[in-house]
Amino acid sequence: MTEAVTRPQDFSPAIRRWRVALIVLGLALLALGGFVLLTDVKPQQYLGIVTWFLGALIIHDGILAPVVFAIGLGMRRASTRIPFAVLVIVQGALVTIALLVAIVVPEILKKSIGTGNETLLPLDYARNLSIVIVALLALAAVLIAVVLRSRRRRA
């Protein structure tokens, strides 16, 4: 059996218009961000911004994305035994956790280095991240249990 391949010319005119509009909007927001960067940020801060972006790139693309991909791939290979709904729940939890880690790790690192103002990062971000991760894992476990129980009842 062959899979249908969707080509850009196969999309309706309405979808093409939406795509063009979203691309234009994205480019406009990118231009606005560049303008704000050039007008509001001091040139002495550019190195710090570049460092932050490189760190975010390394954390996301070098660590988090491959881990999430590997776990998802392993689960999909075992998908004959794992229901699709469970795969979706686990992948959703993993992606959410990965995004939270990517967002909160810089705060954790900065707090460990120290700030000139104690009120700048007042919370225990590592503890709070751990609590949120445990809560997400518990929620995923409950959802998985509900899915498996409903499958058993149907069978």
What domain count does the chain have?
Answer: 2
> Are 132 and 56 contained in the same domain?
yes
Q: What is the pLDDT of residues 44-99, one digit of tens each?
A: 999 988 998 898 888 888 988 898 888 878 877 876 678 888 888 988 998 899 88
- Give residue 9's pLDDT band: very low, low, confident or very high (50, 70, 90): low
- Give residue 143's pLDDT band: very low, low, confident or very high (50, 70, 90): very high
Q: What is the pLDDT of residues 27-50, one digit of tens each?
A: 999 999 999 989 999 999 999 889
Model confidence, pTM: 0.63
| Residue 21 reports pLDDT greater than 80 | yes
Question: Which residues constitute the domain of residue 95?
Answer: 45-154
> Are 83 and 27 contained in the same domain?
no
Alpha carbons 73 and 91: distance in angstroms, whole number: 10
Enter the tokens of residue 42: 């001091």
Alpha carbons 74 and 59: distance in angstroms, whole number: 21
Task: Collect all residues with Cβ–Cβ distance below 8 Å to 45 and sequence separation of at least 6.
Answer: none
Q: Is 141 inside any structural domain?
A: yes
Q: Is 124 inside any structural domain?
A: yes
Alpha carbons 110 and 113: distance in angstroms, whole number: 5
